[in-house]
Amino acid sequence: MRVAELLKNIHENKLAPVYLILGKEDYNAQRISDAFVETVPEDQRAVNIGQYDMESTAISEAIGDALSAPFFGDRRIVFIKHPYFLIGNNKKVKGEQNTDEFLNYIENPEPTTVFVIFAPYDKLDERKKLSKKLLKTAIVVENGFLDEKSTKNYISQLLGEKKYSIEPQALELLVRKTEAKLSLAMNELPKLMILAQKDRKITVLMVARMVPQTLEQNIFDLSDLVLSKQVEKSIEMYHDLILQHEEPLKINAILLGQIRLLLQVNILQKHGYAQGNIASSLKVHPYRVKLAMKKSRSLHRTDLRTAYLGLVDLEEKMKSTQREPLALFELFMLGYFREKRG
């Protein structure tokens, strides 16, 4: 089931006992949560709505709530967050979880309870009995990242409903600055709408002024400079990021991830993979894959591999020596430049 269909069903009070919201789109997850909350009268919400994080709360506590009759009302809503036991995740959490209780509830849900499981994962581990049963019995709602076109359409439609418009170039810039992530774009819209209140039109200048560039975007730009062997500009930008109190190891990790993505995309493109297939295979946002595909066409795999290995070596030196990160980055850039020239 798609998010729009679920929201329509909730609005029409057509509710099922168990829902699995599968995917990482935070904005839609919040819309879904708010819609379920609205089905409970405001004066009953404190006693008839429960939220349980499985990384810090025992399953038995959540199931006990779900099995309870609603107080002074017709319905109880129980939200389950971070059900890590549905995926192949060995992360350490507080205490052991008794998943048998969870399985028993899925098989015999309480008719007066709506049990909503938010699973911010690409997919469940279907080798697990509980995951397999849940996928079979629950209403599964696809909540993956929207692609670039869908994100643009949603923003334009929402603004239209509020009697606002946005210039095409402004929409393009907003999507680029927020990496086509709907949740990030929606966080920026309120201040843009306030700024555009007079003419009710969001311009490219407004977006340029009001929407900050993320660290990931800055490092995306840095990777452009690195791969085009612009040594001085690369070092200058790296220095600026450090002056902004960004952690050198964090900068390196994101830069390394960006080069790795370009290398992976370069290889998969050569094997005939399309954008959607690459995004699915690498579990990466489609917009990032689109940008990587565009960039990797002009890059040689040898250069990408050299940059990647150089950044791995840079990280090891950052962790094992007392030298200044900027000096180490300068050495990396000079070495990479010479490798390319050679």
Q: Residue 90: its pLDDT value, please?
A: 58
Per-residue pLDDT of the chain (342 residues; tens, 9 = 90+): 999 999 999 999 999 999 999 999 999 999 999 999 999 999 999 999 999 999 999 999 999 999 999 998 899 999 999 999 998 765 655 556 788 999 999 999 999 999 999 999 988 998 999 999 999 999 999 999 888 999 999 999 999 999 999 999 999 999 999 989 999 999 999 999 999 999 999 999 999 999 998 898 899 999 999 998 899 999 999 999 999 999 999 999 999 999 999 999 999 988 888 888 898 888 888 888 998 998 888 888 899 999 999 999 999 999 998 899 999 999 999 988 887 544
Chain position carrying tokens 């995926």: 87
Residues 6+ apart with CB under 8 A from 294: none
- Measure the CA–CA gap between 245 and 325, rounded to whole angstroms: 13
- Measure the CA–CA gap between 77 and 75, rounded to whole angstroms: 7
Yes or no: say if 4 and 103 are a contact pair by the CB < 8 Å rule: no
- Measure the CA–CA gap between 105 and 43, rounded to whole angstroms: 27
Nearest to 253 by CA among 312, 199, 204, 205: 312
Q: Residue 341: its pLDDT value, please?
A: 46
Yes or no: say if 195 and 206 are a contact pair by the CB < 8 Å rule: yes
Give the 3-state DSSP-derived string for 30-51, with helices as H, strands as E and coil as C. HHHHHHHHHCCCHHHHHHHEEE
Q: Which domains does the chain have, with CATH numbers?
A: 3-142 (3.40.50.300), 148-210 (1.10.8), 215-341 (1.20.272.10)
Q: Residue 340: its pLDDT value, please?
A: 52
What pTM was computed for the model? 0.80
Q: Is 67 exposed, middle or buried (0-12, 13-18, 19+ CB in 10 A)?
A: middle
